[in-house]
Amino acid sequence: MTRVKHAVASHRRHKRVLKRAEGQWGGRHRFVKRAMESVARGMYFSYRDRKQKKRVFRRLWITRINAACRENGLSYSTLIHGLLKAKVAVNRKMLADLAVNDKRVFKKLVETAQAA
């Protein structure tokens, strides 16, 4: 029986790894073993940070809303509680956008929350 060396498959696999490791520093983009380690680490970080990105943005929105609330003499928690009581369904992303770009509308929302 003939001996199978997997040459084509290994070369293809190595090329795929080296392609992903482009732009890495030093041997990380040249040597297959180092490139595999580097790519695996990078894939782990990209997976983890896709989840963390959502948390980071939510924190940013809350910070912006809180700052705008304080300008209007209200705390963040009071605003959120008031909006829930008034049955105003606006998410934090939209609230943060209003707080930064449309202060008049945000002030109306603050008044609505205070009334409720």
Question: pLDDT tens digits, residue range 10-52?
Answer: 899 999 999 999 998 999 999 999 999 999 999 999 999 999 9
Considering the domain boundaries, does residue 100 fall inside one? yes
Return the percent helix, strand and coil in the chain, to nearest 5: 80, 0, 20
Considering the domain boundaries, does residue 33 fall inside one? yes
| Whether the predicted pLDDT of 89 surpasses 90 | no
Q: Could you give phi then psi for residue 34, rounded to 5 degrees?
A: -65, -35
CATH number of 108's domain: 1.10.1900.20
Alpha-carbon torsion, ordered 88, 90, 96, 100, to 10 deg: -70
Question: pLDDT tens digits, residue range 97-116?
Answer: 999 999 999 999 999 998 88
Q: Which of 69, 77, 60 is nearest to 110 (CA)?
A: 69
Considering the domain boundaries, does residue 56 fall inside one? yes
At residue 88, the pLDDT reads: 86
| Structural domain boundaries enclosing 15 | 7-115
Considering the domain boundaries, does residue 2 fall inside one? no
Distance of CA 30 to the CA centre of its chain: 31
Considering the domain boundaries, does residue 76 fall inside one? yes
pTM: 0.74
Considering the domain boundaries, does residue 1 fall inside one? no
Domain count, the chain: 1
At residue 20, the pLDDT reads: 94
